[in-house]
Amino acid sequence: MAFGSRLACTLLAAAAVVAAGDARARTAIYSYVDADGVRHYTDVPDDGRYRRLILSPRELTESGQHYDPRLLARATQYDSIIERAASNSAVEANLLRAVIVVESGFNSRAVSRRGAVGLMQLMPATATRFGVSDPFDPRENVHGGARYLRFLMDRFGHDVRLALAAYNAGEEAVERNGGRIPPFLETQAYVPRVLQIYRLLSEQARRT
């Protein structure tokens, strides 16, 4: 079974788990991929293979909106876009997925209070800079976000942590801080959060 098909089935299962429970009792969503390559999700991990994947639906994405399990269940509709953008920009597809999870929770209509838009939460100036005319269009948004992330990777010596910090706080903020992650609480939380999801997705891909 293809990665996208497995992910679709198991994300749907995750949505069912999330929808069935009391949101106030949930603290996280956990995931693992079994020997047959099937991805499993739960909010009550009863197997040592489970690893925490994302925050609970009551908590917020970077867009300022709550995670919506229905959107996560439909996330595989963007697989071909993500894979093509990853190939074109030489950025790992699972890194793009991790950024999207944290930025928008796969909500292509997400708009933050600061005006960041779409799946990868592009600011208008960034969208224009990287050739995005309609940031609500998933293909344009992901390709533009991938190009921006590639640019940041190149600018900061292929250091993923610094590239992510710059994606969140801005290139100048990283440079003003001497090429280190800026001392902003949001950014200090953002970088490990994206990396946690990226590593989990990468580990699961290696097991399949």
Tell me the per-residue pLDDT of 100-157, one tens digit each, with 9 for 90 and over. Answer: 999 999 999 999 999 999 999 999 999 999 999 999 999 999 999 999 999 999 999 9
Three-point CA angle 136, 139, 140, nearest 5°:
65
Which residues form the catalytic set? 103
Instruction: List CB contacts of 48: < 8 A, sequence separation 6 or more.
Output: none
57-112: pLDDT as tens digits: 667 899 998 888 778 778 889 999 999 999 999 999 999 999 999 999 999 999 99
pTM value? 0.77
**Cβ 122 vs Cβ 132: under 8 Å:** yes
Q: In angstroms, rounded to a whole number, what is the distance separating the alpha carbons of residues 76 and 92?
A: 16
CATH topology of domain 77-196: Lysozyme (1.10.530)
Pair 62, 1: CB distance under 8 Å: no
